[in-house]
Each structure stands twice: as C-alpha cells, then as structure tokens.
C-alpha cells in the first residue's frame, strides 16, 4: 500500500526485516526528487508498519513557493 502526493509518500512495509533499508532508500530517492538533503526529510511512524516520508516544514514551504513563483 502506497499513497503519494507532491511532497509526501505514505508506505506500508510488510517485511520488518527490511524496513530500515526500505526507508533509507525511499529517503534517498525522495531527497533526489526534491533536490534537497536527507536532513530536510522527515520520516513519521503513521501506524502499524506504516510510515510517511515528507519534506520538513521549512523545506516544503520553500518548494511550494518555488513552484508557484515560476
């Protein structure tokens, strides 16, 4: 199960043994897609085996400003 928006991805990870590796890969891909550092990415535990990866608050606001200013 995956839900994706412009600035976040919510993912249910069934294999607990690979959860860390899966989240690390998702954070890496997300930071490349948004041209930002990994430090600007938040990972939130959203429920049983469910995590949300998103841009941190100030980074999301800057990205929204850049999109609307074009």
Q: CB-hemisphere CA count at 13 Å for 66?
A: 8
* Confidence bin at 62 (pLDDT 50/70/90): low
DSSP at 38? G
Q: What pTM was computed for the model?
A: 0.74
Between 62 and 42, the higher pLDDT residue: 42
Paired tokens of 32: 């490349």
Q: Summarize the confidence of residues 64-68 as an average pLDDT.
A: 52
The answer on pLDDT for 50 being more than 80 is yes
pLDDT at 69: 47
Report the percentage of the chain scoring pLDDT > 90.
64
pLDDT at 66 over 70: no
């Amino acid at each position: 199960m995956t839900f994706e928006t412009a600035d976040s991805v919510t993912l249910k990870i069934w294999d607990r043994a690979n959860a860390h590796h899966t989240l690390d890969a998702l954070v890496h891909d997300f930071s490349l897609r948004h041209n930002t550092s990994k430090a600007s990415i938040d990972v939130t535990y959203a429920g049983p085996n469910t995590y949300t990866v998103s841009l941190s608050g100030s980074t999301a606001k800057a990205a929204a400003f850049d999109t609307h200013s074009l």
